[in-house]
Chains A and B, each alone.
Chain A
């Protein structure tokens, strides 16, 4: 498992000055990258070289670098979060690439996620959907004891499976329709599986779906691509559950 050195790589990356400017691909060479280095560390090194050469570094979103904050994005060689399964870009390591390779890096491409600069996109549309109903309406204080309402282990586990979503947007970027159904359904399912969330499940499903449509995300045509690229393995079974919740809510209207 000893690390090897990748002597030369070509990085073909999307550069765009700001939201209004025209973007284009630029290519850069980078040398002597250890296979034990993470993908974003490789970009750090490239950026250091760009700064030293007097050029502006490549802007990309990233923060926790341990696959949980959901800030990093990047479409790498045609795949959201790059050529590995069940990980985010920050967990991708250079051992997944061959020496001499050309690596193509693009931002998420979706109408609802406009580019801010280079590889950084604006995912505020996700937050707007959450603000529309992705919560349980309970104030701080005055709640029952944690064990007052028993929850079966299966329900708690299923809720947790859905709650594991990190809201990175890979599902939208991967979907040919730029649909946000996997993201929305994960939040709806997480709360609908718990007795505390059942109370306002119908209202939640309706308002989140309405907001999703308003924000310009596409429709779901059940291609399943989102599930394949989701770094946290969120299942499209959640979409079926959302459809059911939504239908039931609409029938009641």
Chain B
């Protein structure tokens, strides 16, 4: 049986990373040239890792399913990136960022990993500036900052409402430089379908070329999974349409443990669902909560009139507005963390105070900041977000408050990794959203960009050397090795099986059904009966999927239905594991809210005596129950308390 070793270095927390770096092995420039690394995914984590490792001298092969590496969904991150620079002189520090992140994650993250993240955060900003990222600046020419949820300082750097785009273009430019120099071999429109393991070590991947339909073999001395999260299990989410859990799931099926699958972040400020024809949800940046006030009507009769379209928000008098976040959480107000804000919105809507026709929306109102600062200032800060909102909803947010509702946004869970970001399969790494390690049970705003770039620029390029230093005698891996042949056949069998079901229902119809089960029972509020039911429903769905799936078009050519079918097949399995994990974790923590475990005033109630662990699930084969490993979380530097933002 697998034994998990987190390999957290000994010593005081502030010295762990530097002493670890001093202790690990380094590969010489002459030997780096002989080593190949596969990086799957080209978002902030994968892109920065690929560029950095190529600059160091490794031969990198990068893969993405999009037509260009610069389209990865990191590009859609709007609000900003955190760093403990203390440029605002507001008493920020590495320790404060570390503390905020551990507390924000509801004490379910690894202390040592989070501290390292805070330590390298400042270097990330320097790196991005050097690449030409046009961050917002003050008149004097210094970098600007703003505030985000769950913190009391201003440490978020931003480029209008397009920070993710600019950071991604920065690291993609670095990749391009390396592609131009022949140090990165770029494979676009190419999707991972299996991982090849030879004598216990990750040695390559099997992919499907999405243009030709050909199954391909690619080998390397190490494989890095940087494919983001699995939020699309829910069908409707803020993820891009193509985002999938395939690579992470293949890692799991090949023996890597999958950690905390039930930790899903539900973002409080998304544009509400318009109806049955919806395909995805659009996020409105958390930065808007700096200047927007969240409210619903105080009187139920006003809410009813709003739902019937008889009045608008502007008809409701000042004293009849319930600024429920300011009321419930006076010290953090509208800037409480995402999980808290989402649950509060759901509570208001469940009580009948929702403000649109479906009753599933609350207001985010800029009237007050426009009065205070002027329309020009608000337009300069959020112009592109307001435009986006108006194009989608046909309503002008300068005149009427925005309508918002929580939606699936990010997955804190992911592939289990040790301190070196290596999974329990030697040579297989997971970075960025694809791993589990830094955000605990809830991620703070503007921390995803920070983690992706920390892993890719400043952590993995060092830690991977410790492994590869022992691989320098290993010649280039031969793709004709029997394990490659075997895995290619397995992938072909899997794809032809799906293609040949020849049933009557589309992939999307199964995906939507899965999404409904997940949102209903494994969504914002979970309980034992619901979770047990969800597992049964998912198993039934899987049976129907294999009996009645219909894929049209050709097998050995571009086939958009076949692509989706593989992803949804993985989502079904992932959904079941998420429900199992949620069932095991009887406490509430962060984004995981068990109705059986709440405080008197309805807040999430942790149970540190019984659940202060990372749940790491190990695959046992098709149809068999996975084994649960528990990695105890030890807190030496942060005192565990009931999280309060009041």
Contacts and interface: CB of A to CB of B under 8 A. Distances in A.
Contacts of A140: 48, 51-52, 55, 127, 174, 457-458, 461
B552 A57 contact: yes
A210 interface: no
Interface string B562-578: 00000000000000000
**Which of the listed residues A33, A40, A68, A151 has the most CB atoms from chain B within 10 Å of its own CB?**
A68
A177 interface: no
A64 B75 contact: yes
A59 to B, nearest CB: 5
A131 B67 contact: no
Interface in B44-97: 48, 51-52, 55, 66-68, 70-73, 75-76, 85, 87
A222 interface: no
B126 interface: yes
Q: Determine chain A's interface SS by DSSP, over half rule.
A: loop
B73 A63 contact: yes
Interface string A18-52: 10000000000000011011101110110010111
Interface string B161-174: 01011100100111
A66 B68 contact: no
B278 interface: yes
A125 B545 CA distance: 39
A228 interface: no
Contact of A95 (B87, B241, B394): B394
Interface stretch (A83-91, A98-106, A213-221, A242-250): A83-91
B388 A135 contact: no
A191 B558 contact: no
Contact of A71 (B67, B125, B505): B67
A41 B277 CA distance: 7
A159 B132 contact: yes
Interface residues of B, number: 89
B76 A68 contact: yes
A234 interface: no
B388 A45 contact: no
A141 B122 CA distance: 12
Contact of A134 (B173, B275, B279): B173
A240 interface: no
Contacts of B172: 130
B640 interface: no
B466 interface: no
A166 B156 CA distance: 23
Nearest to A58: B560
Nearest to A166: B165
B137 A41 contact: no
B173 A135 contact: yes
Contacts of A61: 67
A163 interface: yes
A139 B55 contact: yes
Given A71-B71, A95-B394, A131 B552 contact: no
Contact of B176 (A59, A123, A131): A131
Interface string A43-83: 01100101110111101011111111111000000000000
A223 interface: no
B130 A136 contact: yes
B55 A70 contact: no
B280 A65 contact: yes
Interface string A128-171: 00111111111111011111011111001101100110110000
Interface stretch (B16-24, B140-148, B297-305, B410-418): B140-148
A109 interface: no
A157 B139 CA distance: 11
The 9 closest A-B pairs by CB, nearest first: A150-B141, A135-B173, A56-B553, A143-B130, A159-B134, A160-B134, A131-B180, A140-B52, A69-B71
29 contacts: A36-B275, A40-B279, A45-B277, A56-B552, A57-B561, A63-B71, A64-B241, A67-B391, A68-B164, A69-B72, A69-B76, A70-B70, A71-B71, A124-B68, A131-B179, A131-B180, A137-B177, A138-B131, A139-B55, A140-B51, A140-B457, A141-B127, A143-B129, A146-B125, A146-B126, A156-B137, A167-B70, A193-B134, A196-B130
Interface of B: 48, 51-52, 55, 66-68, 70-73, 75-76, 85, 87, 122-123, 125-132, 134-143, 159-160, 162, 164-166, 169, 172-174, 176-177, 179-180, 186, 188, 211, 240-242, 274-275, 277-280, 282-283, 309, 357, 387-388, 391-395, 457-458, 461, 504-506, 508-509, 550-554, 557-558, 560-561
